[in-house]
Structure 1
Amino acid sequence: MGKQSQEHTSYISEAFRKLYRAFWGIGGISMLINLLMLTGPLFMLQVYDRVLSSSSVPTLVVLSLFVAVLYIFYGILDGLRNRLLLRVGQHVDEQLTGLAFEASTRVPLVLGAEGERSRPVSDLDSIRQFLSGSGPSAIFDMPWMPLYLGIVFLFHPLLGTTALIGALLICVLIALNELSSRRPAANTAVEANKRTTLIEACRRNAESIEAMGMIDHLRDRWEDNNDVFLGRQRAASDRSNIFTTMIKTLRFMLQSGILGLGAWLVIQQEVSAGVMIASSIMTARALAPVEMAIVNWRGFVAARVGIARLQEIFASQVKPKQRVSIPFPQESVSIEGLFCGPIAAKEAFVKNVSLELKAGDGLGIIGHSGSGKSTLTRAMVGITNPLKGSIRFDGAELDQWSAMDRGDFIGYLPQDIQLFDGTIAENIQRFKPDQDSDKLIEAARMANVHDLIVSLPEGYNTVIGATGNGLSGGQRQRIALARALYGNPFLIVLDEPNSNLDAEGEAALTNAIHDMRERGSIVIVVAHRPAATSAVDQILVMNEGEADALGAKDKIMKQVIAPLRKPQEVVLNG
């Protein structure tokens, strides 16, 4: 693992490192709990060997009171340990939840389709649930197995040897279970993520599925995916259950064997009846952590897989740089010899593009589908990193600003309009905690959506979901446009901004572009329809990832667009 991977892995290590004191405290409490667990077998030993032989009721009463006090302390300590473990799990969640959320959002931009199947937040949930459960208690109790086995040895070497051999066999079976179930468990987790991805995609596209009758085909795909998942889960569970059954059977045989061997030693007058009972209880107590570990095995495996996946995902993220605060750009955007590709691509699709824009410029990017228009603009706003070349704002590389700072001078309207659960105001203001009503209303007016919003019963406080909750495509596009214009950003990139707009909406879009340019913003419009480029003064024609033509709009339209119309006119007239 390289240096960068180690740095990102340390996020998880650091989260656990902060809990060292808590773990030491839990370890100390576990020591007292395990010492108090000697109360039961020692009480039975005294009852059989002292109380019954002497028929002394006062002795029985005193022993019973003493044992009751010890069990009360045990209950208090056990409850305290459970409370601490719950807080340990929540502390780890609090330390990593922001990173997990950020990774959940950004990993599709880094890993592409593969990243869409990752569920960092679910992995963190698995870790928290294991840490907050009874699994760690079993781990803390494991080191005390030798104490109980040692006491059984003191009772009689033959009893101790039998208990030790049985415990070793159980440990071997546990190790074999771990080795044999690791890969099947990982494969099951992969298939589970695929199922979740399909469900989320279908929920996002419910309208398209219903309108185009896709539900039966998608249900078939779901059933196929589910069959694979169930098969992987069945294989993992069957393998684990074999060892679980063997361990449970061996444990029962061992406990009964200790009791039978103790009875034989009593007959031989080598031990007392109290020792026979106490040895059986001691052996059961020694194996109790093993039994608890078996019960929590799936949680342990899920947590271990979750940690491994989080380490891998965190390692794929670019570690934030230590940045010197520099002013936001106000003058120019320049691209020099830019090579870039789609998300997660290793090879460039857009090749050797260079251009320079000054404050107030408007650039229209046109070209056929797949020509590289959107790929170019995604690199310009920082969604994907250049493979070669540079993108500079006032001479500074884009990554000299943090992602949060970039949001103050970049506005972006993607092709795929996505709104979020929240109010209209929150969506337009990009969920910034400090509300600025003037900027909010200004952006809404520029996008020609203010009148629509105030006509709603709750106005700007109307809650909408990811699909817009009753809003038309054009209305959602206007709200997303207002979000892109919010705060008068220096660079505004609009990808197919008029795809859902009517004539009134297109007029408002043209006016908004004019207004933003007059304020000194650089506006870039990706378009198929010429109407969207009416408010720009320059045109870039993309063709198979390369800049085919770049210059003044009137000149480019005559050189490139006009010749293309003649064959179409011949066909139409013919």
Structure 2
Amino acid sequence: MAPTNLALARKRDAAKLTEGLRGIVVYLVAISCLINLLALTGSLYMMQVYDRALTSGSVQTLVALSVIALVLFLFQGGFDAIRSRVLSRIGARFDHEVAPIAHRVTIDMPRFGFSTTEALERGRDVDTVRSFLGGQGPGALFDLPWIPIYLGFIYLLHPWLGALTLGGAVVLSLLTLASEIVARRIAGEARQSALGRSTIAESNARNAEVLKAMGFAGRATQRFAEANEVHLDLQSRASDIVGSFGAFAKILRMILQSAVLGLGAYLTIKGELSAGAIIAASVASARALAPVDQAIANWKPFVAARQSFARLRETVVALSKAIEPMPLPAPHRDLKVDRITVAAPGSGQILLSEVSFEVGAGKAVGIIGPSGGGKTTLVRALTGIWPTLRGAVRLDGAELEQWPEEDLGRAVGYLPQEVGLLDATVEENISRLSEHEDSSGVVAAATATGIHDMIVRLPAGYRTPLGPQGMAISAGQRQRIGLARALYGNPFLVVMDEPNSNLDGEGEAALTKAIEQLKARGAIVIIVAHRPSALAAVDYVGVIQAGKLTAFGPKDQIIRPTGGAEAAEAAPRPAATMPKAMPFELQRVSV
């Protein structure tokens, strides 16, 4: 993938966040111009009332001025409502376009070592930006460029009044910048502390049964409370800074408004200003400073929205691709693992190094080895969950990255070590949320794993909701439904990580039968197991130790039961023995 092409793709995808907004922004600028011109109505009305209607004593003049002012105020309110509705629609459109992309990253982040809380933050970022667009903040930003209109009007009344109002606007703007500079670091720390607090809360909720059964829920709560105290302290400091600047700005604005009245009175006494101009200058100065005051009041949401937008932009860039892979024929020949090295995302620690083997269609391979040796890392590399640092995993000669993701997904069946089911029905879980109803395929996958009878005994059969994480059924039932999901659609490569960890004898028999059926139809099966019963139907066995493939060959050459055949039969769960020093040379076996 050419770096130049990738950079262009990232720039293009980042631009999608603001695509089509230029015309809308021009429209909003024009609307804001009309709103701010019409906002002079109050000043002009007061000046005409005091200088014309009162001095002439004409009721007709007062009524005419009042009617004109009322009409102009209605127009201003109408344009203001239009602007608010447009901004609200922009927020909704932004959510519509970006929320699915953010959710896609939410799905991807945990497999790269991020916590669920960090992953879900992308969704909250979309909410933050949408809420800001629908609030008062954008209106204040659109009004800021029109402050010179009011300053010019006040200057026309008297230069001194214009200079006083301009000075106040500059001071208030400097206060806003000072608030941003001082609060930025603490706001960042407060955000990180909020993530840490939420991560602890999510971890405690996930382990609720353990906390209750072993009686350390209180200590877990105390751990959360400590993290919460840190967050509250940082949040309070950030709020104190912003609140102090806001309060000072509010007082300064009140002082400035009074100063305008006082200076206007002085100029009137000197005969340089009319009584109506005093009121007009006061109303205009208040309107001139209102956008600054609103900007200060909405500065915290604005900063949060800006940070959220930056993270969302990074999110879109992270998904950028220079080219989309071309659709390839469904794989049917072989799986080749070519000297792959895999590092843990985030830490960069090498977990698997220089692993190579080949498997042909219709064969099953068992992967054994001590805990922490790298078996699950191999599974994640074979399924494309973790990228390889070096080397390649190939299906029919093509690297996994060369397959469109959905096409590769149809060719792969995966049963993880910890089976998690979606908060959906049994049918939706097995069919992988297929958009097209495929009852025959769902039933075939369930029958292959021996759970069809179990499913039809559920309250609503295949349409039974499983609840969050599939907690409505037992661990063994979840594992077998997860296996049916892995087999759905007749995938070419089926990878299982500890597939019998929660199965009883009947479930293990069904697993062995399913593996035999997969081999018979030409699929490749990779099984990671500690219990030898899961390896009954495999043809070859690989041994992973300390991140290395230390042996690979026919099953009867790698696994030797402890004792004789009689002892092996007598043992309820015979364990495969694996000498620390292999009695044969490491060699690559092509099967």
- Shift in Å, 1:113: 5.1
Selected match of 1:213 from 212, 215, 238:
215
Counterpart contact for 1:5–1:315, Cα < 8 Å: no
Distance in 2, matches of 1:224 and 1:397, equals: 48
Instruction: Report the counterpart of residue 236 of structure 2 in structure 1.
Output: 234
Instruction: Report the counterpart of residue 388 of structure 2 in structure 1.
Output: 386
- Shift in Å, 1:97: 1.2
Describe the shift of the 1:440–1:320 C-alpha distance in structure 2 as closer, same or farther (beyond 3 A). Answer: farther
Instruction: For 1:78, give the aligned amino acid.
Output: D
Query: Unmatched 5+ residue regions in structure 1?
Result: 567-574
Distance in 1, matches of 2:42 and 2:144, equals: 19
- Shift in Å, 1:316: 4.0
SS at match of 1:535: coil
Instruction: Report the counterpart of residue 126 of structure 1 in structure 2.
Output: 128
Instruction: Report the counterpart of residue 62 of structure 1 in structure 2.
Output: 64
Instruction: Report the counterpart of residue 259 of structure 1 in structure 2.
Output: 261
Instruction: For 1:162, give the aligned amino acid.
Output: L
Distance in 2, matches of 1:118 and 1:429, equals: 25
Instruction: For 1:17, give the aligned amino acid.
Output: E
SS at match of 2:223: helix
Distance in 1, matches of 2:118 and 2:169, equals: 44
Distance in 1, matches of 2:532 and 2:326, equals: 42
Select between 221-230 and 465-474 the one with higher mean Cα deviation: 465-474
Counterpart contact for 2:117–2:202, Cα < 8 Å: no
Distance in 2, matches of 1:362 and 1:130, equals: 55
Selected match of 2:422 from 420, 440, 444:
420
- Shift in Å, 1:537: 0.9
Deviations 1:430-487 (A, max 9, x none): 1121121111000111122211111112111111223323211101111111111111
| Matching of residues 74-89 of structure 1 within 5 Å | 74-89=76-91
Instruction: Report the counterpart of residue 514 of structure 2 in structure 1.
Output: 512
Selected match of 2:74 from 72, 75, 81:
72
Deviations 1:359-379 (A, max 9, x none): 111000001100100101100
Distance in 2, matches of 1:123 and 1:92, equals: 11
Select between 334-343 and 481-490 the one with higher mean Cα deviation: 334-343
Instruction: Report the counterpart of residue 502 of structure 1 in structure 2.
Output: 504
Select between 517-526 and 321-330 the one with higher mean Cα deviation: 321-330
Describe the shift of the 1:121–1:562 C-alpha distance in structure 2 as closer, same or farther (beyond 3 A). Answer: closer
Counterpart contact for 1:107–1:317, Cα < 8 Å: no
RMSD: 2.0
Counterpart contact for 1:100–1:121, Cα < 8 Å: yes
Counterpart contact for 2:411–2:491, Cα < 8 Å: yes
- Shift in Å, 1:173: 0.9
Distance in 2, matches of 1:318 and 1:534, equals: 44
Distance in 1, matches of 2:184 and 2:330, equals: 50
Instruction: Report the counterpart of residue 14 of structure 1 in structure 2.
Output: 16
Deviations 1:146-189 (A, max 9, x none): 11011101001111111111111111111111112222112211
Selected match of 2:477 from 471, 475, 486:
475
Describe the shift of the 1:66–1:318 C-alpha distance in structure 2 as closer, same or farther (beyond 3 A). Answer: closer
Instruction: Report the counterpart of residue 106 of structure 1 in structure 2.
Output: 108
Corresponding residue pairs, total: 565
Instruction: Report the counterpart of residue 350 of structure 1 in structure 2.
Output: 352
Instruction: Report the counterpart of residue 571 of structure 2 in structure 1.
Output: none
Instruction: For 1:129, give the aligned amino acid.
Output: S
Instruction: Report the counterpart of residue 571 of structure 1 in structure 2.
Output: none
- Shift in Å, 1:543: 0.8
Counterpart contact for 2:336–2:394, Cα < 8 Å: yes
Selected match of 1:193 from 192, 195, 207:
195
Distance in 2, matches of 1:117 and 1:229, equals: 19
Deviations 1:495-524 (A, max 9, x none): 001111111111111111111111111011
Counterpart contact for 1:118–1:193, Cα < 8 Å: no
SS at match of 1:444: helix
Selected match of 1:541 from 527, 540, 543:
543
Instruction: For 2:67, give the aligned amino acid.
Output: L
Counterpart contact for 1:117–1:194, Cα < 8 Å: no
Structure 1 position 177 matched with structure 2 position 175: no
- Shift in Å, 1:115: 8.6
Instruction: Report the counterpart of residue 138 of structure 1 in structure 2.
Output: 140
Distance in 2, matches of 1:95 and 1:552, equals: 52
Counterpart contact for 1:334–1:355, Cα < 8 Å: yes
Instruction: Report the counterpart of residue 94 of structure 2 in structure 1.
Output: 92
Select between 38-47 and 242-251 the one with higher mean Cα deviation: 242-251
- Shift in Å, 1:5: 6.3
Describe the shift of the 1:109–1:563 C-alpha distance in structure 2 as closer, same or farther (beyond 3 A). Answer: closer
Instruction: For 1:93, give the aligned amino acid.
Output: D
Distance in 2, matches of 1:255 and 1:7, equals: 52
Deviations 1:508-564 (A, max 9, x none): 111111111111110111001000111111100111111111111111113997655
Query: Unmatched 5+ residue regions in structure 2?
Result: 563-574, 581-591
Instruction: For 1:497, give the aligned amino acid.
Output: P
- Shift in Å, 1:318: 5.6
- Shift in Å, 1:319: 2.7
Distance in 2, matches of 1:433 and 1:117, equals: 26
- Shift in Å, 1:207: 2.3
Describe the shift of the 1:76–1:154 C-alpha distance in structure 2 as closer, same or farther (beyond 3 A). Answer: same
Instruction: Report the counterpart of residue 455 of structure 1 in structure 2.
Output: 457
Instruction: Provide TM-score, normalisation by structure 2.
Output: 0.92
Counterpart contact for 1:259–1:277, Cα < 8 Å: yes
Distance in 1, matches of 2:468 and 2:543, equals: 33
Selected match of 1:283 from 282, 285, 292:
285
Distance in 1, matches of 2:279 and 2:104, equals: 57
Select between 336-345 and 459-468 the one with higher mean Cα deviation: 336-345
Instruction: For 1:325, give the aligned amino acid.
Output: P
- Shift in Å, 1:565: 9.1
Describe the shift of the 1:398–1:121 C-alpha distance in structure 2 as closer, same or farther (beyond 3 A). Answer: same
Instruction: Report the counterpart of residue 321 of structure 2 in structure 1.
Output: 319
Identity between Structure 1 and Structure 2 (%): 44
Instruction: For 1:107, give the aligned amino acid.
Output: M
Distance in 1, matches of 2:11 and 2:352, equals: 33
Distance in 2, matches of 1:94 and 1:190, equals: 27
Instruction: Report the counterpart of residue 334 of structure 1 in structure 2.
Output: 336
Distance in 2, matches of 1:565 and 1:5, equals: 51
- Shift in Å, 1:9: 5.7
Distance in 2, matches of 1:289 and 1:62, equals: 30
Counterpart contact for 1:110–1:317, Cα < 8 Å: no
Deviations 1:376-422 (A, max 9, x none): 11001000111111111111111111221111000001111111111
Counterpart contact for 1:9–1:314, Cα < 8 Å: no
Distance in 2, matches of 1:507 and 1:119, equals: 43
Counterpart contact for 1:204–1:467, Cα < 8 Å: no
Counterpart contact for 2:95–2:127, Cα < 8 Å: yes
Counterpart contact for 2:340–2:393, Cα < 8 Å: yes
Instruction: Report the counterpart of residue 32 of structure 2 in structure 1.
Output: 30
Instruction: Report the counterpart of residue 438 of structure 2 in structure 1.
Output: 436
Instruction: Provide TM-score, normalisation by structure 1.
Output: 0.95
Describe the shift of the 1:328–1:115 C-alpha distance in structure 2 as closer, same or farther (beyond 3 A). Answer: farther
Select between 102-111 and 324-333 the one with higher mean Cα deviation: 102-111
Describe the shift of the 1:275–1:135 C-alpha distance in structure 2 as closer, same or farther (beyond 3 A). Answer: same
Distance in 1, matches of 2:8 and 2:296, equals: 32
Deviations 1:64-113 (A, max 9, x none): 11111111111211111111000011111122112101111112333545
Counterpart contact for 2:109–2:119, Cα < 8 Å: no
Distance in 2, matches of 1:34 and 1:440, equals: 63
- Shift in Å, 1:426: 0.7
Counterpart contact for 2:106–2:119, Cα < 8 Å: no
SS at match of 1:310: helix
Select between 507-516 and 7-16 the one with higher mean Cα deviation: 7-16
SS at match of 2:327: coil
Deviations 1:196-252 (A, max 9, x none): 222233333322332232311221111111111111111211121221122111111
Structure 1 position 375 matched with structure 2 position 377: yes
